[in-house]
Amino acid sequence: MKPAPFEYEAPDSLPAALDLLARHGGEAKLLAGGQSLIPVMNFRLAQPAFLIDLNRLSDLDYVRRSAAGGLAIGAMTRQRRLERDPLVAELAPLLHEAVPFIAHPQIRNRGTLGGSLAHADPAAELPAVAVALGARLRLARAGSERWVDARDFFAGLFSTALEPDEILIEVELPPPTPRIGWAFLETARRHGDYAQAGVAARVSLDGEGRCQEAGLTYLSLGGAPISAQEAAGTLAGVVPSPAAFAAAAEAAPGEIHPVDDVHASAAFKRHLARVLTVRALTLASARAAQGMAAAQEGAR
């Protein structure tokens, strides 16, 4: 229950961290919040020879409005800050709604946005939120950078597009569009436990109140976040209604891949997916309609 020996460095600049990673890439692990890495090190399921601690990179801890009017968030931003920052609530209400589902305050005080995305746990909230929001991820290596869309970043169970010499440094979220509503829901045995099933729903309305476009992204129902294109597609051009939500929910289980575990059977998870889909679409549509009413009120 104690980590195996390792060498440790805590660089105080990103170039220094990238340089260390370039030299030790194969044998090194990056330490962000440590809320997933340290447990597996304590169990000795992971025994990295070298640990590069990113916690001194305070210039990767920020939440700011991007040039496009969305959000730019540093990878070392703590989850607790995402929960409390008014800019997140304003510009990424889905993220704001999802963060309190992540474990417990003691964990969110350390856990980071970038760490959770790079860890790519299929039961985690932030990867699904990143996919649902259409996030772009900025990856750096010594001497160069590249951007990867969240939907291309998650390759499967605990695996991502990150190369061994790359660090995820920033997450960019697009600005919210008008007449859009979001909802995030999950079920767990106990508040803060890993989700048995969860969903991030998006509903955009057109000027007449019909559904212009919808999105459904599931967590804990496959090896990576799953965007259910067909289920969401059933809503296009349709007036939001309980029958329309039920039709989408019936399509969703065809696109998810739950497996039995100690928390729930695959069959029960499919049931949860249907129930959560209806609830999340109902909430997201109501919020989109509220936004539309408020905009019309403002225009008068």
**Least distance CB 124 / another protein (angstroms):** 14
**Least distance CB 3 / another protein (angstroms):** 4
Dig out the tokens for 261 from the structure.
């575990």
CB burial readout 86-104, b (16+ within 10 A) else e: eebeebbbbbbbbbbbbbe
Site for another protein (CB under 8 A): which residue of 11, 89, 110, 227? 110
In order of 46, 51, 68, 114, the CA distances from 27 in angstroms are: 11, 9, 38, 20
**Is the distance from CB of 57 to CB of 14 less than 8 angstroms?**
yes
Positions in 5-64 near another protein (CB under 8 A): 5-8, 10, 34-35, 38-39, 42-43, 51, 53, 55
> Does residue 105 touch another protein according to CB under 8 A?
yes
Q: Pattern of binders to another protein over 64-83, x per CB under 8 A?
A: ----------------x---
Dig out the tokens for 34 from the structure.
């440590």
The CA-based angle 241-245-249, given to 5 degrees, is: 170
> Does residue 136 touch another protein according to CB under 8 A?
no
Number of H helices, E strands in the chain: 12, 14
**Least distance CB 285 / another protein (angstroms):** 27
**Least distance CB 143 / another protein (angstroms):** 28
Dihedral over alpha carbons 270, 275, 276, 277 (to 10 degrees): 90
Q: Pattern of binders to another protein over 163-202, x per CB under 8 A?
A: ---------------------------xxx----------
Distance CA 243, CA 285 (A): 13
> Does residue 263 touch another protein according to CB under 8 A?
no
**Least distance CB 106 / another protein (angstroms):** 5
**Is the distance from CB of 30 to CB of 52 less than 8 angstroms?**
yes
Whichever of 15 and 105 has its CB closer to another protein, that residue is 105
